[in-house]
Amino acid sequence: CTSEDHGGGVRSVRSRLENVEVRECFSSNDGGGISSSTSYIADCDMYRCAVRSTEKRYGGGINSSADSIIRCRIYDDSSNYAGAIYSDNSYIENCLFWRNTSDTIPVLCANSKLVHCDIVGNRNTGSVKGCAVNGTNARLYGCVVWGNKDHNGEPLPIGARVNSVTFSAVEGGYE
């Protein structure tokens, strides 16, 4: 599936998405797999979705605002900015972000809370030093952030804008 607008696979506003598989979808705007706002997303897989644009576009797998994202697997997705997910004011629980690529930050979650999520094996392919997860006032609780690499194979740190990291395993630690 391909879209010139938001959401290559699904565009959702005030909806409930459950048990959805979104594969190999592309968007030239935000949200290669799903673009949503004020929705509940649960038990979904986003696989090999991408935002293909020369402009700064967000969320290869998911671009979300004010969503609850529960038990989702977001993997092998790409975007030039926030390869796995871009979220703002979302609650994200028990999700896997794995093998996503971005020129900058694989997981960008502003004003969002991530609980019991695994952010593993993601890659920054750009020449600018990025980070594994970032976002103004982002909070991580009980998360694993491990095996994320930059274009030189060096570990990606937690971004400076992350507000708190509690009971989490972070490769290289967190200050």
SS3 per-residue string spanning the chain: CEECCCCCCEEEECCEEECCEEECCEECCCCCCEEEECCEEECCEEECCEECCCCCCECCCEEEECCEEECCEEECCEECECCCEEEECCEEECCEEECCEECCCCEEEECCEEECCEEECCEECCCCCCCCEECCCEEEECCEEECCECCCCCECCECCCEEEEECCEECCCCC
- pLDDT(119) > 90: yes
Q: What is the pLDDT of residue 142?
A: 98
Give 128-138 pLDDT, tens digit per residue.
667 888 888 99
The pTM of the full predicted model, rounded to 2 decimals, is 0.92
- pLDDT(7) > 70: no
Q: What is the pLDDT of residue 64?
A: 87
Give 60-102 pLDDT, tens digit per residue.
888 888 789 999 999 998 888 888 898 999 999 999 999 999 9
- pLDDT(108) > 70: yes
